[in-house]
Amino acid sequence: MGSLILRKATRYLFPVIMMFSIYLLLRGHNEPGGGFVGGLAAASAFILNQLAFDVPSTKRLMNVDSLTLIGTGLLIALGSSVFTMLDGQPYFSSHWATLRITSDWQLLIGTPLIFDIGVYLVVLGVTLAILLSISNFRKSPS
Amino acid sequence: MLYAVMSGFVAAALLPLLHRFLGERSSLVAAVVPLALTVWFATSFPRVASGEVLVSQSSWLPEIHLELGFRLDGLSLLFALLISAIGALVILYTSAYLHGNPRQHQFVSATLMFMASMLGVVLADNLVLLFIFWELTSFTSYLLIGFDHEKEESRKAALQALLVTGLGGLFLLAGVLLLGTAAGSFSLSEILRADRALAGHADYPVILGLILVGAFSKSAQTPFHFWLPNAMQAPTPASAYLHSSTMVKAGVYLLARLNPVLGGTEAWIGWLTAVGVLTLLTGALMASAQVYLKRLLAYTTVAALGFMVMLLGIGSERAVQAAVVFLMAHACYKASLFLVAGIITHETGEADVRRLGGLLRFMPVAGACSVVAAVSMAGLPLSFGFVAKELVYASVLDRFLVFIPAVAASLLFVVVAFQVGIKPFLPGSSDSSGTPHEAPPAMLAGPVILGLACLAGGFFPQAFAGALAASAAAAIQGGLVSEVDLQAWHGITPESVASALTLMLGVAAVFATGHWVRIGSAMKPLANFGPDRVYVAKLKGLNLLAVWQTRVLQSGSLRRYVAIIVLAMVGLFGLSVLRSGELPILNRNTPLTLPSLILGLLIMLGAIGSMIATSRISAVAALGVVGFCVSLIYVLHGAPDLAMTQLVVEALGAVLLVSAFLNLPSFHDRKRWVGRFRDAVVAILGGLAMTLMTLMANDVQLAPSIAHYFAETSVLLGHGRNIVNVILVDFRALDTLGEITVLAIAGASAVALLKLRMAAKRRS
């Protein structure tokens, strides 16, 4: 994978795709998007990096193990609704809060967003776990 | 009563903690729990004896009508007293018996759990609750039998007991569910109030059969009796507790409990009497060939359980009273004999009765207790056993077919009582290493107290057991007041003549013991055809079946997996089409638009392309065409979310396939045309089924559509305009959680598999 063009392009594309994936995640509640496709987009950013460079450098870029990502994501998704249970409501009842940023610009955030972040991390982790280990498998000395 | 049942579980959970601070003394603390329970049950006796039924209800799972309901009547009280009193003695005994064993507290903890489960069985008011506790007793007895888990025999015996009683438990569950449905309630109180209304029910034979199998397997009735003697691998306190006085009587309890509901019919009388008599004879016959203390006792327990079932089967007022009194007497003397047997083996290291003798010198107290219990078991006058036997004889005297087996079993009891309870203490000598000495007080407490009970029941039966037996018998007969008149000596009656005869024959048999054993061992080969062998053969068969189906289904060939999955889908679909008898009439005329027509053609071209491709890369590219066209179809139908996700999945999928292909052998189809033809058939069938299913799905509407609800409430409740996402993360978040969990497991497994392969590669 010695393509100079690909490498150079990746340097610029990677942050853009990552930003786009987070944008997808956050807008998902009102526009097309969401944690699932956001996670996939983020994974494709890393895969692009892996195609342009190699697996070790991608792992360095990730900074955490993909299995840790999966676990963290599951925990976040599970835990997103613990507080509502303490309230005596059924599990996964949503809670919303309004953040007043300026007088006419308010932000509505709720537990479903936290859940979606969990989904995002699980999808990202699983995709990377499978793809990276398969690529690594190929690279291993036989 | 909830607290009474739960206290055992709580104590069992806390015991390991206590053990850390108190060491072995924690067992003594644990014994306080059953002691307190005994006192509590004893204090509620006056109220129960006056005919009151104590009830306590607390809700647990109201959605499925499962309540933590408990009731205490005469029958429950009798069992509860036995369970908690003997429990206390057994735990006390354990503290000395397992002295120095680092896992002592685990044993005591399991014993407490067992005790609590057993209390749950006899106190439960809800049938399902009763079943849950019933299973818990199987489970805890597994822990207790397999306590010496380093020994293979222990593990085998524990597993066998678990499988046999667990299988019975499944029958019981089915029976309980049918019974509850037929009676219209799962509450025992309500079912008992209906009183024999079930005997004419259409499901009655099925219910009866299922419940009898459950009860018989628990109470070691022939042909399920084999697990009980094998379970003697358990440490002696467990044998004394579970396998003589409590758990094996759970089946008897169930039969007694349901007697007012299911009893009295011809089927009930016939089955219970027949199986009871058969068990009686099996136990007697098998016991004659035994020479080890605990196995001798185990087979007489089998016989005694047969006795009780038989008496319940007869079901007359007298027989029920006899069953109750016999049960009490048996619990007292059998537990006592087990405990003494434990002491003997503990002190001498010997369990073979032929090599035991002359122990009275060394352990006078244990010897005295043993003799008292043995006298009770043999049924000599002025013992509790005598009172019980008189009652039994009185209730079977006029039934010749039952009377003879009863006498035969009583005869056996005399012989075994002598061998186990008396012979080791007669002058003679034991082959033992070192000098045996008297057991510590903690181990003697049980035999002494139970021995005193045997004597009290013999001298003052009416005062000792009359009222309790009366209220228990009344409960078995569905609330009829039962007058019990227990007397130490009735004078010369037909019963006492029969008793005297039994005793004389028994003494004669004792002198001929040597021949007995010889005859018994001559018959040993017969055991090869016993149910124990059937059990072993079945287990082997199960393993073979598992191996076979794994080889067939889990062949490791990806092609075969796909073929199995597709064919299974086609088969299920075809079956349901065949059963409904008609193919769906495709009456819906969805207009074909030009864009979808073009996309459809492209998809087909892509599919054909992937089939005729000559390299893997081109096959992937052709599949990519299919994928992208599908996502365009989503766009056409206004599902941008799906389209977007599909696009990214396509891209990543291509990367995945390409990286995977690099590890595969080179691309050439080695298959002959037969194989290709087979694959084509599978593929065409699968495609056809899928197409038809999709077309049918358009017309099927099982429930009113909720799409409308989602559309309306998405913004109101979910605060989001993207309905798909609101459904995913809010309305149906639990589904999504399930999906990402599956995803996570799949990811982790893939990594694990690849890591394993990599390690294997490196090693070679």
Do the chains contact at B733 and A73, CB–CB below 8 Å?
Answer: no
Question: Residue B614: which pLDDT band, with cuts at 50, 70 and 90?
Answer: confident
Question: Residue A139: which pLDDT band, with cuts at 50, 70 and 90?
Answer: low
Do the chains contact at A71 and B744, CB–CB below 8 Å?
Answer: yes
| Cis-peptide into B704, omega within 30 deg | no
Do the chains contact at A40 and B737, CB–CB below 8 Å?
Answer: no
Per-residue pLDDT at B460 exceeds 70? yes
Smallest CA–CA distance, residue B735 to chain A, in Å, is 11
Chain A residues closer than 8 Å to B730 by CB: 92, 94, 112, 115
pLDDT in tens, B275-294: 999 998 888 888 877 778 88
Chain A residues closer than 8 Å to B714 by CB: none
The pLDDT of residue B703 is 75
Give the number of domains in chain A: 1
Higher pLDDT, B722 or A131: A131
B734 contacts chain A (CB < 8 A): yes
Mutate to test the interface with A, among B648, B662, B717, B729 (most CBs of A within 10 A): B729
Q: Measure the CA angle with vertex B577, ends B576 and B580; round to 5°.
A: 85
Do the chains contact at A94 and B762, CB–CB below 8 Å?
Answer: no
Position B695 in a domain: yes
| Helical segments of chain A, H only | 4-27, 35-52, 55-62, 66-79, 82-86, 111-139
Per-residue pLDDT at A134 exceeds 70? yes
B199 contacts chain A (CB < 8 A): no
The pLDDT of residue B478 is 78
Smallest CA–CA distance, residue B670 to chain A, in Å, is 24
Please give the average per-residue pLDDT across B699-725, as a whole number. 77
**Domain around A64:** 4-139
B752 contacts chain A (CB < 8 A): no
Amino acid found at B10: V
pLDDT in tens, B2-41: 888 888 888 888 888 888 888 888 888 888 999 999 999 9
What is the widest separation between alpha-carbon atoms in chain A? 65
According to DSSP, the residues that pair with B71 across neighbouring strands are B55
Q: Which residues contact B667 (CB under 8 A, 6 or more apart)?
A: B614, B615, B616, B661
**Do residues B511 and B520 make contact, with C-beta atoms less than 8 angstroms apart?**
no
Kindly state the tokens that stand for B43. Answer: 């204090």
Of A6-15, B212-221, B328-337, B699-708, the one with minimum mean pLDDT is B699-708
Do the chains contact at A92 and B730, CB–CB below 8 Å?
Answer: yes
Position B280 in a domain: no
> Can you say whether residue B632 is alpha, beta or left, with left for phi > 0 and alpha for psi between -120 and 50 degrees?
alpha
Per-residue pLDDT at B568 exceeds 90? yes
In angstroms, the first-to-last Cα distance of chain A is 20
- Give the separation between CA B260 and CA B74, rounded to whole angstroms: 14
**Do residues B566 and B686 make contact, with C-beta atoms less than 8 angstroms apart?**
yes
| Beta-strand pair A105-110/A96-102 | antiparallel
**Domain around B527:** 523-552
At A97, give phi and psi (nearest 5°): -135, 145
Chain B residues closer than 8 Å to A59 by CB: none
Position B545 in a domain: yes
- Give the separation between CA B212 and CA B528, rounded to whole angstroms: 26
Do the chains contact at A74 and B762, CB–CB below 8 Å?
Answer: no
The pLDDT of residue B55 is 85
According to DSSP, the residues that pair with A107 across neighbouring strands are A99
Q: Measure the CA angle with vertex B58, ends B52 and B59; round to 5°.
A: 140
pLDDT in tens, A18-36: 999 999 998 888 888 888 9
Per-residue pLDDT at B686 exceeds 90? yes
Chain B residues closer than 8 Å to A140 by CB: 758, 761-762
B748 contacts chain A (CB < 8 A): yes
Q: Examine the predicted complex and report whether its ipTM is higher than 0.90.
A: no
Do the chains contact at B722 and A94, CB–CB below 8 Å?
Answer: no
Per-residue pLDDT at B745 exceeds 80? yes
Please give the average per-residue pLDDT across B748-764, as a whole number. 83
Per-residue pLDDT at B135 exceeds 90? yes
Per-residue pLDDT at B105 exceeds 70? yes
Kindly state the tokens that stand for A28. Answer: 């998902």
* Same domain membership, residue B688 and residue B625: no
The pLDDT of residue A142 is 43
Give the number of domains in chain B: 4
**Do residues A59 and A133 make contact, with C-beta atoms less than 8 angstroms apart?**
no
Smallest CA–CA distance, residue B761 to chain A, in Å, is 6
Position B305 in a domain: yes
Amino acid found at B32: V
Across the interface, which of B663, B725, B737 has its CB nearest the CB of A34?
Answer: B725
* Same domain membership, residue B616 and residue B501: no
The radius of gyration computed from the CA coordinates of chain A, to the nearest angstrom, equals 18
Residue in chain A closest to B715 (alpha carbons) equals A30
Please give the average per-residue pLDDT across A98-121, as a whole number. 83
The pLDDT of residue B528 is 57
Position B193 in a domain: no
* Same domain membership, residue B685 and residue B603: no
Residue in chain B closest to A40 (alpha carbons) equals B648
Q: Using alpha carbons, select from B103, B120, B110, B107 the residue that is nearest to residue B140.
A: B110
| Beta-strand pair B66-72/A96-102 | unpaired
Per-residue pLDDT at B560 exceeds 70? yes
Position B266 in a domain: no
Smallest CA–CA distance, residue B66 to chain A, in Å, is 20
Residue ending a domain, choose from B621, B648, B668: B668
Do the chains contact at B734 and A91, CB–CB below 8 Å?
Answer: yes
Please give the average per-residue pLDDT across B620-625, as a whole number. 89
Q: Measure the CA angle with vertex B222, ends B217 and B224; round to 5°.
A: 35
Do the chains contact at B744 and A74, CB–CB below 8 Å?
Answer: yes
Mutate to test the interface with B, among A23, A26, A36 (most CBs of B within 10 A): A36
Residue in chain A closest to B752 (alpha carbons) equals A133
According to DSSP, the residues that pair with A102 across neighbouring strands are A105
Please give the average per-residue pLDDT across B388-417, as a whole number. 85
SS3 of B290-340: CCEHHHHHHHHHHHHHHHHHHHHHHCCHHHHHHHHHHHHHHHHHHHHHHHH
* Same domain membership, residue B576 and residue B493: no
- Give the separation between CA A134 and CA B564, rounded to whole angstroms: 26
B761 contacts chain A (CB < 8 A): yes
pLDDT in tens, B533-549: 788 888 888 888 888 88
Do the chains contact at A137 and B757, CB–CB below 8 Å?
Answer: yes
| Tokens 């203490």 -> residue | B425
Interface of B with A in 649-678 (CB under 8 A): 649, 651-652, 655-656, 659-660, 662-663
- Give the separation between CA A88 and CA A85, rounded to whole angstroms: 5
Amino acid found at B92: L
Residue A98 is inside which H or E element, if any? strand A96-102
How does the average pLDDT of chain A come out, rounded?
85
Across the interface, which of A37, A74, A141 has its CB nearest the CB of B645?
Answer: A37
Across the interface, which of B648, B660, B746 has its CB nearest the CB of A134?
Answer: B660
How does the average pLDDT of chain B come out, rounded?
84
* Same domain membership, residue B336 and residue B299: yes
The pLDDT of residue B385 is 87
How many Cβ pairs closer than 8 A exist between chain A and B?
150
Per-residue pLDDT at B328 exceeds 80? yes
* Same domain membership, residue B682 and residue B603: no
Across the interface, which of B649, B719, B754 has its CB nearest the CB of A134?
Answer: B754
Mutate to test the interface with B, among A46, A67, A133 (most CBs of B within 10 A): A133
Amino acid found at B334: K
pLDDT in tens, B600-612: 899 999 988 888 8
